[in-house]
Structure 1
Amino acid sequence: MPFPALTETSRVPEPGTLPQHVPLAAQIRDGLVESIHYGSLIAVSAEAAGTKTLFTAGDPLSAFYPRSTLKPLQAVAMVRAGLDLPADLLALAAASHSGAAMHRDGAARILQLHGLPAGALENSTDLPYGVREREEWLRAGGTPTRLAQNCSGKHAAMAATCVINGWSVQGYLDPSHPLQKLVAETVRELTGEEPAGTSTDGCGTPLFALTLRGMARAFGRLASAGLHTGASPADGAEAAVADAIRRHPEMVGGEERDVTELMRRMPGLLAKDGFEGVQLVGLPDGRAFAVKISDGGDRARMPVTVRALAALDVDTAPLADLATGTVFGGGRQVGLLLATDFPAATSPAPDTL
């Protein structure tokens, strides 16, 4: 079968234009490095003069797609537009959920509260994302649906926000729709950046190309909203979203999901994962960091996240089992997946925000 023709959107980049990622994690099998995961990250703090870079690794100023880590920012836009949900459902609006009954029922509740049928959803159809949830769904004869898809909470909230504002529900994913214009404006404000490009996420929503620094800045703002001296009324939506996520981490991910465990074990921490190896974390004091694993693989994301927390002098003892991955051989442990000592050999990115 011949290869498909390359288009302008699929053409292979020139080597000199590729992000300059560095090793962030390595898999060790019986003392030998078997695999290396490259990537980039940045940690920042909020200062009176602007965002201060604490440490970096790789190329945190290259544009990338934040994928589902945009969801808390999208939820902020919706709350600003009048969306008023119980905390568990607001957390679901910012979720990449596992598709358990509580998630599917929660998305249905958002629709019902606003007089909407399930057919109002315009996200893609899928099986539940969680392994156990998917197996249970299939055993019960389930097929791909929009409610089971991991972004259904966000989409239900988007449709509800349209009802609240008298906007057309049909076509709410179009970038020219008032909802998506508001989301884009909110993303620009929270990140302090003009997107370097746009695309479409897996579920169908508009997707913005940003930098790790911009996303870290946004999560620092959300995590500290309403908790710092001098908080403004504009922090209300950010505080509502952050509080909902912290109070209901099971709605943001699900049982057996590392992002849920991370928030359960570290009270006050705000976290969101995204496809293609993306992780965002914000601390109540306004410090935050953003991680991108270059190969899009998921297994290195959490060890690197725990290492970044340790570099910020956070006590990571409760996360010991998340800090490494076990390598098996013949049914017994023969090695580990470990984060590198990346903060020790990095130089800060310029502070311009």
Structure 2
Amino acid sequence: MYSPALADTPNALAHDRLPQHAPLVAQTRDGLVESVHYGSMIATAPDGRTLLAAGDPLAHFYPRSALKPLQAVAMVRAGLDLPADLLALTAASHSGAARHRDGAERILDLHGLTPAALENSTDLPYGAAEREEWLREGGQPAQLAQNCSGKHASMAATCVINGWPVRGYLDPGHPLQQLIAGTVTDLTGETPERTTTDGCGTPLFALTLRGMARAFGRLASAELPDGAAPADNPEAAVAHAMRQHPAMVAGEGRDVTALMRLAPGLLAKDGFEGVQLVGLPDGRAVAVKISDGGDRARMPVTVRVLEALGVDTAPLARIAAASVLGGGRPLGLLQATDFLPAPEAP
């Protein structure tokens, strides 16, 4: 029920403050559109120019866990030096499998730390199969099982490396978070419009899809010569680790892991509330935000844009659309709409 009092609160949303999203994905059942996901997207050139766009790609939004590769770059710049699988875990929203939990513990152990150093929130494993196994074995919500534990273990480790206090490493005024904020500004080319707190307790910045795409294009196109140390090019080190270990970035059965396996060379990271970023080796990039936070809509949009950019998306068919079933038989599809402008006539 509408309350006039609510309209006077700071959280009241006037219609003209809402992002102007476009219909990007639709689900059909027997020829009728059953539901629609609105959102915004942008594809950028290596120099940051806009190649394709739909909706409101310059509206500020929270990238959520899509920020993790940028946070990982900041930590490598600050001296974090990990094996590639653990660096991939640093940039991960992992499913909470044993390899992920053990990896976070390895990061801590390498730097003389224990799980007591972690300051992220507790949770059950994010992956459905991993969560069921954890519960069968009597597991309870835990910091190591939470999908950001790799990032937090590396944050604590970076503090040890630099002689910074480990306790309180999530405070926005802590040297680690100041370093990360500066790195995010550098990589995106944007000063965050505002700062809040992510679900795991980490400072979170409001940016635009254009800025995030610029950052992912920069990471994906960075090169790390054979034998070079991560510190020689932190952007390349993070991108290389994520591509080399896609199962550490997400997990088995996860679409981000599948995307990097099916299209080698792509750099992909998702974020809660319908966020998807992809960087291409040539420096182009794609950024997607689904307005209702619908996770199922991310990949159909992403694959459609990659196809428009000339990427061979035939191997991605199984993550580009999903069958809609009725009584166990296909009756429709969840698929991208024709949201991209038609090519100009020659």
Q: What band does the TM-score fall into relative to the shorter chain?
A: over 0.9
Q: Tell me how far apart the structure 2 counterparts of residues 320 and 57 of structure 1 sit (CA, whole Å).
A: 22
Deviation at 1:214, TM superposition (A): 0.1
Q: Any stretches of 5+ residues in structure 2 without a counterpart?
A: none
Which one of 247, 250, 256 corresponds to residue 250 of structure 1?
247
Deviation at 1:256, TM superposition (A): 0.3
1:45 and 2:49 correspond: no
User: Do 2:224 and 2:237's aligned partners in 1 also have CA atoms closer than 8 Å?
Assistant: no
Equivalent position of 1:21 in the other structure: 21
After superposition, where does 1:266-281 map in structure 2 within 5 Å? Answer: 266-281=263-278
1:260 and 2:257 correspond: yes
Q: Counterpart of 1:12 in structure 2: which amino acid?
A: A
Deviations 1:14-61 (A, max 9, x none): 0011100000000000000010000000000113xxx21101000000
Equivalent position of 1:156 in the other structure: 153
User: Do 2:76 and 2:231's aligned partners in 1 also have CA atoms closer than 8 Å?
Assistant: no
User: Do 1:55 and 1:346's aligned partners in 2 also have CA atoms closer than 8 Å?
Assistant: no
Which one of 216, 219, 230 corresponds to residue 219 of structure 1?
216
1:136 and 2:130 correspond: no
Q: Tell me how far apart the structure 2 counterparts of residues 41 and 134 of structure 1 sit (CA, whole Å).
A: 32
| Distance change in 2, residues 1:66/1:200 (3 Å) | same
Equivalent position of 2:305 in the other structure: 308
Q: Tell me how far apart the structure 1 counterparts of residues 111 and 9 of structure 2 sit (CA, whole Å).
A: 38
Deviation at 1:226, TM superposition (A): 1.7
Deviation at 1:12, TM superposition (A): 2.7
Q: Counterpart of 1:265 in structure 2: which amino acid?
A: L
Equivalent position of 2:65 in the other structure: 68
Give me the identity figure in percent: 75
User: TM-score normalised to the size of structure 2?
Assistant: 0.94
Secondary structure of 2:49 counterpart = strand
Equivalent position of 1:320 in the other structure: 317
Secondary structure of 2:53 counterpart = strand
User: Do 2:220 and 2:279's aligned partners in 1 also have CA atoms closer than 8 Å?
Assistant: yes
Q: Any stretches of 5+ residues in structure 1 without a counterpart?
A: 348-353
Equivalent position of 1:351 in the other structure: none
Q: Tell me how far apart the structure 2 counterparts of residues 221 and 340 of structure 1 sit (CA, whole Å).
A: 29
Secondary structure of 1:262 counterpart = helix
Q: Tell me how far apart the structure 2 counterparts of residues 106 and 227 of structure 1 sit (CA, whole Å).
A: 23
Secondary structure of 1:162 counterpart = helix
| Distance change in 2, residues 1:118/1:8 (3 Å) | farther
Q: Counterpart of 1:88 in structure 2: which amino acid?
A: D
After superposition, where does 1:1-353 map in structure 2 within 5 Å? Answer: 11-47=11-47, 51-226=48-223, 236-344=233-341
Q: Tell me how far apart the structure 1 counterparts of residues 8 and 148 of structure 2 sit (CA, whole Å).
A: 29
Deviation at 1:330, TM superposition (A): 1.4
How many residues align? The count is: 338
User: Do 1:225 and 1:235's aligned partners in 2 also have CA atoms closer than 8 Å?
Assistant: no
User: Do 2:222 and 2:236's aligned partners in 1 also have CA atoms closer than 8 Å?
Assistant: yes
Q: Counterpart of 1:322 in structure 2: which amino acid?
A: I
User: Do 2:224 and 2:233's aligned partners in 1 also have CA atoms closer than 8 Å?
Assistant: no
Q: Tell me how far apart the structure 2 counterparts of residues 7 and 132 of structure 1 sit (CA, whole Å).
A: 43
Deviation at 1:13, TM superposition (A): 1.1
Deviation at 1:329, TM superposition (A): 1.1
Deviation at 1:6, TM superposition (A): 5.6
Q: Tell me how far apart the structure 2 counterparts of residues 10 and 275 of structure 1 sit (CA, whole Å).
A: 24
Q: Tell me how far apart the structure 2 counterparts of residues 255 and 7 of structure 1 sit (CA, whole Å).
A: 45
User: TM-score normalised to the size of structure 1?
Assistant: 0.92
Q: Tell me how far apart the structure 1 counterparts of residues 134 and 269 of structure 2 sit (CA, whole Å).
A: 25
Deviation at 1:208, TM superposition (A): 0.1
- Superposed CA RMSD in Å reads 2.0
Deviations 1:282-325 (A, max 9, x none): 00000001000000010111111110110101010000111101
Q: Tell me how far apart the structure 2 counterparts of residues 72 and 10 of structure 1 sit (CA, whole Å).
A: 33
| Distance change in 2, residues 1:299/1:346 (3 Å) | farther
